[in-house]
C-alpha cells in the first residue's frame, strides 16, 4: 500500500473530515477554532510559538533512498539526509496522531499555472488555518490536469503544526539540541514516495517551501528550470524575472502597477516560457509602508468582511482594537502576509508568459559596497547565479538577528536539492537561447555597511529596475568594477549619477576599499570551498571576486 493510500484509508475511517471545504468555511472554521483573530480590517491575524517564526533549516530533511540518492547534492549543507527507517517512524506517528484528532481538513490543489506540468498535491492537517493557507498559495486543479506530466505522480503532505515529536523516541535519529535531546520538530521530504511531513512547525512558510523544494527536484527531469524568482510582464509583452533570497525585494519590486504580475516567488521556465507555481503571495510585512509598497499594503490592509477577506497576517503586532503595527518587531522581524494574487491591482490571471527579456539578480548587501545596479555579461551572470550572494536578514530563519554574509547558490540553495550543474546548465542555455539581459541589483546598504550607511531607498531601486526592464540601460556607458567584476552604468534616466558608483557614496574611500576587499575575499573562499572540485568553466571562474 502506498503512503497516499494509507492516508486516504485513515481519512475514510473517520467521521469528521472537511474535504475541500468552501473558502468561506475555511475562514469560518479558523476563527471558530480560535486559530486566528479577525483584525479591524477583516484580515486574519495569527501567531506562532517563538521557535516557529521562521523556517528551521537544521530540521528540514530529505529521505535518503537508493532511487534518488545520486540525483541529490548531499555536499550541500541544506540537504540533510534522514534514514528510511526514521522516516517510516515519523510517518507512522503522524498518521496515528492525525487519526485521533477530532476533525481533519483536506485540500486538493496543484502547483504550477501551466497544466502541462502542474503537480497535484493533497494536504491533510488538523488546522483550518493551514488549509486556508494552501487555498491562498496553491492553485485550483485546472482543466486538462490529466495531460500533466505529473498525472499519476501526485504528492501528499501531512501537516501537524502544533504537535511535537517525542524527543526520547527520536534520540539518536534527529539532530541534538543544546540540551542533548533530539529535536521535537521535523520538516521531511520523501521524494521517492512523494510524501512530505511538517511536524511541529507552525510557520506557514514551512508548508510553502517544502512544496517548492519538491518542484525543484521533479521539474529538471522534465526539462523545466525551477527558479526562486518573481515575474511580471510589461504592456509590450516583455517579461522580467527577479531572483533573490527572502528579504531582497522580490515581492516588493515585482508588484508594479504598470506591469502585470505573474507571481512573487516561484516559477518554472519551460520551452513554452514562464509559469508561476502559486496562487498567492507570502510577503514580509515588517515596516511595510503604504506609500512605498502600495500594492502589498492594499492586498493586506483593504477593508472587507472577514469571510470575503481571507488574507493571513502571521506574527505581526496587533493592538486590542484590532489594528496592526507593522513597525513593531518584538515578536519577530519576519512577520508575513499571505494573500491571493487577485488582491493585487495588476496581475496576469493565467500566470503564464513568454521567455524573459530581462533577468534581475537581487542582493541585499549589508556591506554597502556593491553598486545599486550593474550589468552582467553571460560569464558574470553564471558566476553570480552560482554564488547567490546576499546578506541574510534578521528573522528569515530561526536565530538570525543581524545580517550575515550568505552564499546561497541560485538564490535559493535551501530549496534546490539537485546537483548544481543541473540548474546552472539549464539557466545558461536559456539565457543564451533567448538573449536575456542580466542585471545585479543591490537592495541593501549604501554609503557604508549596516549600522553606518543607509538602506537603499525603495524609490531609487524602483527607478533603476524600471530602467533595466524598459531597456533604458542598454545604451548607456559602463565601467568595469575591478573588484567585483561587474559593469557599472555611469548614468540612468531619472537617477542621480552620484549614487551609481558605491565608493563615491562613502565618506572614507579607504574604508570602502578595505570593506570591498574583505567581501571579495569571502567570495573567493566560498568559491574554492563550494566549487573547487567542480568542473566550472574557466571563463566563469575568473569572474569571481577575489580570484
Query: What CA–CA distance (Å, rounded) separates 531 from 385?
Result: 13
Query: What CA–CA distance (Å, rounded) separates 226 from 262?
Result: 15
Indicate the angle between helix axes 509-531 and 378-387, nearest 10 degrees. Answer: 80
Count Cβ atoms below 10 Å from residue 16 Cβ, excluding itself.
Answer: 9
* Residue 336: active-site member: yes
Please tell me which residue in 86, 246, 351, 398 is annotated as part of the active site: 246
**Residue reference for cell 545596479:** 373
Kindly report the backbone phi and psi dihedral angles of residue 433, in degrees, each rounded to the nearest multiple of 5, phi listed first.
-65, -35
Q: Does an H or E element contain 125, and which?
A: strand 119-125
Q: Does an H or E element contain 122, and which?
A: strand 119-125
* Residue 101: active-site member: no
* Residue 238: active-site member: no
* Residue 351: active-site member: no
Please tell me which residue in 46, 52, 55, 374 is annotated as part of the active site: 55
Which three cell numbers, joined as nine digits, stand for 91?
510517518
Please tell me which residue in 64, 194, 208, 228 is annotated as part of the active site: 228
CA distances from 200 to 55, 159, 183, 490 (A): 11, 8, 10, 51
Please tell me which residue in 125, 130, 251, 252 is annotated as part of the active site: 251
3-state SS, residue 159: strand
Query: What CA–CA distance (Å, rounded) separates 29 from 36?
Result: 10
Please tell me which residue in 264, 265, 365, 472 is annotated as part of the active site: 265
Pairing of strands 119-125, 239-243: unpaired
HEC per residue, 424-483? HHHHHHHHHHHCCEEEEEECCEECCCCCCCEECCHHHHHHHHHHHHHCCCCCCCEEECCC
Query: What CA–CA distance (Å, rounded) separates 505 from 33?
Result: 53
Nearest CA among 257, 242, 246, 240 for reference residue 296: 257
Please tell me which residue in 122, 209, 259, 267 is annotated as part of the active site: 209
Please tell me which residue in 127, 336, 355, 466 is annotated as part of the active site: 336
* Residue 209: active-site member: yes
* Residue 434: active-site member: no
* Residue 375: active-site member: no
Sign (positive/negative) of CA torsion 147, 217, 230, 132?
Answer: positive
Please tell me which residue in 64, 139, 208, 250 is annotated as part of the active site: 250
**Residue reference for cell 497535484:** 120
Nearest CA among 121, 90, 124 for reference residue 106: 124
* Residue 55: active-site member: yes
Buried b (16+ CB within 10 A) or exposed e, 204-216: bbbbbbbbbbbbb
Please give the positions annotated as active site: 55, 209, 228, 246, 250-251, 265, 336
Amino acid at each position: 500500500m502506498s503512503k497516499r493510500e494509507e492516508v486516504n484509508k485513515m481519512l475514510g475511517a473517520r467521521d469528521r473530515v472537511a474535504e475541500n471545504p468552501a473558502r468561506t468555511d475555511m475562514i469560518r472554521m479558523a476563527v471558530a477554532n480560535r486559530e486566528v483573530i479577525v483584525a479591524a480590517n477583516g484580515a486574519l491575524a495569527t501567531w506562532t510559538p517563538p521557535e516557529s517564526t521562521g523556517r528551521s533549516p537544521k530540521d528540514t530533511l530529505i529521505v535518503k533512498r537508493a532511487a534518488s540518492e545520486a540525483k541529490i547534492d548531499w555536499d550541500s549543507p541544506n540537504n540533510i539526509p534522514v534514514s528510511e527507517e526514521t522516516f517510516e517512524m515519523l510517518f507512522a506517528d503522524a498518521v496515528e496522531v492525525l487519526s485521533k484528532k477530532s476533525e481533519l481538513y483536506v485540500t486538493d490543489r496543484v502547483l504550477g499555472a501551466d497544466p502541462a506540468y502542474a503537480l497535484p498535491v493533497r494536504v491533510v492537517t488538523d488546522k483550518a488555518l493551514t488549509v486556508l493557507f494552501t487555498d491562498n498559495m496553491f492553485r485550483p486543479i485546472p482543466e486538462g490536469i490529466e495531460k500533466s506530466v505529473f498525472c499519476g505522480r501526485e504528492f501528499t503532505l501531512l501537516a501537524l503544526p502544533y504537535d511535537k515529536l517525542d524527543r526520547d523516541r527520536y534520540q539518536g535519529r534527529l539532530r541534538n539540541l543544546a540540551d542533548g535531546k533530539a529535536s521535537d520538530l521535523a520538516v521531511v521530504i520523501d521524494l521517492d514516495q512523494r510524501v512530505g511531513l511538517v511536524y511541529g512547525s507552525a510557520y506557514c512558510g514551512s508548508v510553502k517551501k517544502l512544496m517548492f523544494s519538491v518542484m525543484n527536484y521533479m521539474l529538471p527531469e522534465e526539462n523545466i528550470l525551477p527558479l526562486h524568482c518573481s515575474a511580471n510582464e510589461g504592456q509590450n509583452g516583455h517579461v522580467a524575472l527577479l531572483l533573490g533570497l527572502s528579504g531582497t525585494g522580490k515581492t516588493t519590486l515585482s508588484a508594479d502597477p504598470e506591469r502585470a504580475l505573474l507571481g512573487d516567488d516561484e516559477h518554472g521556465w519551460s520551452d513554452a516560457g514562464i509559469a508561476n507555481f502559486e496562487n498567492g503571495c507570502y510577503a514580509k510585512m515588517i515596516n511595510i509602508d503604504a506609500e512605498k509598497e502600495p500594492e502589498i499594503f492594499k492586498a493586506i490592509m483593504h477593508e472587507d468582511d472577514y469571510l470575503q477577506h481571507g488574507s493571513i497576517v502571521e506574527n505581526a503586532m496587533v493592538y486590542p482594537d484590532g489594528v496592526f503595527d507593522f513597525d513593531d518587531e518584538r515578536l519577530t522581524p519576519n512577520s508575513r502576509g499571505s494573500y491571493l494574487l487577485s488582491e493585487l491591482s495588476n496581475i496576469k490571471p493565467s500566470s503564464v508568459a513568454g521567455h524573459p527579456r530581462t533577468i534581475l539578480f537581487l542582493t541585499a548587501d549589508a556591506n554597502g559596497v556593491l553598486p545599486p545596479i550593474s550589468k552582467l555579461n553571460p560569464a558574470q551572470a553564471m558566476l553570480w547565479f552560482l554564488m547567490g550572494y546576499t546578506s541574510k536578514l534578521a528573522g528569515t530563519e530561526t536565530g538570525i538577528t543581524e545580517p550575515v554574509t550568505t552564499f546561497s547558490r541560485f538564490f535559493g540553495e535551501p530549496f534546490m536539492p539537485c546537483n548544481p550543474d543541473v540548474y546552472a546548465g539549464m539557466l545558461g542555455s536559456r539565457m543564451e537561447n533567448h538573449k536575456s539581459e542580466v542585471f545585479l541589483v543591490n537592495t541593501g546598504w549604501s554609503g557604508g555597511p549596516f549600522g553606518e550607511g543607509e538602506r537603499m531607498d525603495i524609490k531609487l531601486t524602483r527607478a533603476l529596475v524600471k530602467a533595466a526592464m524598459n531597456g533604458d540601460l542598454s545604451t548607456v556607458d559602463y565601467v568595469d568594477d575591478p573588484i567585483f567584476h561587474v559593469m557599472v552604468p555611469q548614468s540612468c534616466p531619472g537617477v542621480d549619477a552620484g549614487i551609481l558608483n558605491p565608493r563615491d557614496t562613502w565618506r572614507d574611500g579607504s574604508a570602502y576599499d578595505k570593506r570591498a576587499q574583505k567581501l571579495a575575499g569571502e567570495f573567493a573562499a566560498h568559491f574554492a570551498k563550494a566549487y573547487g572540485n567542480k568542473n566550472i568553466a574557466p571563463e566563469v571562474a575568473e569572474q569571481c571576486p577575489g580570484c
